Amino acid sequence: MNTLPIHNPATAALITQVPADDAASVAAKAAAARAAQPGWNAVPLAERKACIARFRAGVVAELETLAATMTGETGKPIKMSRNELNGLLGRIDFFLKEVDAQLATETVYAEGGMTEQIQHIPLGVVVNISAWNYPWFVGANVYVPALLTGNAVLYKPSEYATLTGLAMARLLHAAGIPKDVFIAVVGGGEVGAALQAQRIDGLFFTGSYATGAKIAQALGPRMVKLQLELGGKDPTYVCEDANVKNAAESLADGAMYNTGQSCCSVERIYVHEKIYDAFCAAFVDTVRGFKVGDPMAEDTYIGAVTRAPQLAVLEAQVADALAKGATLRIGGTRLPGPGNWFAPTVFTEVNHSMELMREESFGPVIGIQKVSGDAQALQLMNDTRYGLTAGMFTPDEARAKALLAQVNAGSVYWNCCDRVSPRLPWSGHGDSGVGLTLSTYGIATFTRPKAWHLRQA
Ligand code: NAD
């Protein structure tokens, strides 16, 4: 039997080892899910909803333990782990409220003995290969609507959030979801690859562009529905009429929350030259106030970097920015271990020749660039292969709407950032991915429309 070691990124200590899957067990799990799916789809929707409601209650009952488990294996500050679990509840409520309407058969024509209907049937067996940075959010965005709409789910948590993924499976099963309708699959990239090779009806992936591109290449000829929620290099533009202090505090939080490891972290900031110096000073002041430390401590704001290899990526971005003339305002180095630690880092006088402004940092590192006005800001915001989110700070609503309408991004923010709503679709342009989760579209995406042409004899 394979095993997967689970480490605490804040201390490097081994937490435990869990049994892991191999090619044979993955194939057996896929076959079990295939056999179980029709039975689950035959369960009345009200009962499927009752299972998910009990799952929600289970999360509430164990919230403290679940938060500690997530913090232990990811290094996420404990308050942010609690925030994620509390945020999850609103997402579940949204799906429970909206699923009936999404599954209702629509009669779109009825005349002269001819009726046309659209029925919404489940995809079948769907795979969810997930990320570690918000394991509850990105997992539940897929498996909650997938289960509600009658699919069986093979769920592979990230190898950096496996204990959390196993807790999800335990709570779903305790809530009445049959064991073979939601199956956790444990392991790293090779197990994900084995999973994608099975006979499946949909693959929903959250993770990096590099892995997403590999999966897309493998699945292309197989005509399997594929959704990829990938990384970003999310820009925000601060106009000269913005409230400097409010914008600096909001954007420092948007850049550094979860130690900068959010898909929608603010990754690039453009500031109008008229307020550039004041903004940079306020931003650095805010970052200086962020407490770095034990992720289990209540007052910690910056926790450990989850994946050790990311430290080298951050160091390379820092070295590249310094070599190309950026000004380091704070941080810039690893912090002493054990564990994976990086100081919150702010660069000013950056430009687009620097990796820091082009490739996802996914850590507590940010660059702030001076711009002359809206035209230059827009050009720089769109100078990226990604397109997940983008934002603008100004009291002028018309100006913000005019500019944000021209930005290539799945979500745009006016006077806010780093925000996800269950009511709105979550999607990316370009190398940030294809497909979407959340909103009513994020329920419909787990169904297939079947067209009925019915003529009375
Ligand atoms: P990753 O690509 O390293 O891993 C993601 C998942 O893919 C893991 O479960 C991993 O085991 C699996 N995997 C790795 N190689 C595989 C292969 N060859 N075949 C199949 N599966 C394989 O990403 P990560 O480090 O877990 O997540 C961080 C990335 O996720 C960042 O780029 C972040 O921006 C992105 N992300 C995006 C969103 C979004 O909604 N757009 C949300 C969260 C995270």
| Closest C-alpha to ligand 1, atom 15 | 189
pLDDT confidence of residue 433: 97
Query: Is residue 159 helix, strand or coil?
Result: coil
Q: Give the phi and the psi of residue 42 in degrees, each rounded to 5.
A: -80, -15
Mean predicted confidence (pLDDT) in 402-415: 98
pLDDT confidence of residue 419: 95
Query: Is residue 234 helix, strand or coil?
Result: strand
Strand partners, 234: 266
Query: Is residue 142 helix, strand or coil?
Result: helix
Please name which of 407, 362, 401 lies closest in space to residue 380, comparing C-alpha atoms: 407
Percentage of the chain lying above the pLDDT 90 cut: 99
pLDDT, tens digit, 9 for 90 and up, residues 79-120 = 999 999 999 999 999 999 999 999 999 999 999 999 999 999
pLDDT confidence of residue 73: 98
3-230+431-455 CATH, one of 2.30.30.140, 3.40.605.10, 3.40.50.2000, 3.40.50.10490 = 3.40.605.10
At 389, list the tokens.
């989110």
pLDDT, tens digit, 9 for 90 and up, residues 267-302 = 999 999 999 999 999 999 999 999 999 999 999 999
Distance 349 CA to ligand 1 centre (A): 31
Q: Alpha-carbon distance 108 to 289, whole Å?
A: 58
Q: Give the phi and the psi of residue 62 in degrees, each rounded to 5.
A: -110, 20
The one-letter amino acid code at 104 reads: A
Distance 269 CA to ligand 1 centre (A): 25
Atom number in ligand 1 closest to CA 360: 32
Strand partners, 225: 202
User: pTM of whole model > 0.85?
Assistant: yes
Atom number in ligand 1 closest to CA 129: 9
Residue 188 pLDDT greater than 80, yes or no: yes
pLDDT confidence of residue 58: 98
Distance 189 CA to ligand 1 centre (A): 9
pLDDT confidence of residue 346: 98
| Closest C-alpha to ligand 1, atom 41 | 229
Q: How many residues does the chain have?
A: 457
Q: Within 6 Å (CB) of ligand 1, which residues are found? A: 129-134, 138, 156, 158-159, 188-189, 192-193, 196, 206-208, 211, 214-215, 229-232, 263, 360, 362, 388, 426, 428, 433
Residue 1 pLDDT greater than 80, yes or no: no
Mean predicted confidence (pLDDT) in 357-383: 98
Atom number in ligand 1 closest to CA 131: 26
Percentage of the chain lying above the pLDDT 70 cut: 100
Q: Which is the catalytic residue, given 263, 264, 280, 417?
A: 263
DSSP 81: H
Residues of the chain with CATH 3.40.605.10: 3-230+431-455
Residue 437 pLDDT greater than 90, yes or no: yes
Residues of the chain with CATH 3.40.309.10: 234-419
Please name which of 421, 22, 398, 351 lies closest in space to residue 185, comparing C-alpha atoms: 22
Q: Alpha-carbon distance 268 to 380, whole Å?
A: 10
* Cα torsion through 161, 52, 265, 275, rounded to 10: -150
Mean predicted confidence (pLDDT) in 239-264: 98
Distance 105 CA to ligand 1 centre (A): 35
Task: Quote the mean pLDDT of the chain.
Answer: 98
Whether 263 sits among the annotated catalytic residues: the reply is: yes
Fold topology of 234-419: Aldehyde Dehydrogenase; Chain A, domain 2 (3.40.309)
pLDDT, tens digit, 9 for 90 and up, residues 33-66 = 999 999 999 999 999 999 999 999 999 999 999 9
Q: Which is the catalytic residue, given 73, 159, 229, 267?
A: 229
Element spanning 323, H or E:
helix 309-323
Q: Alpha-carbon distance 442 to 457, whole Å?
A: 38
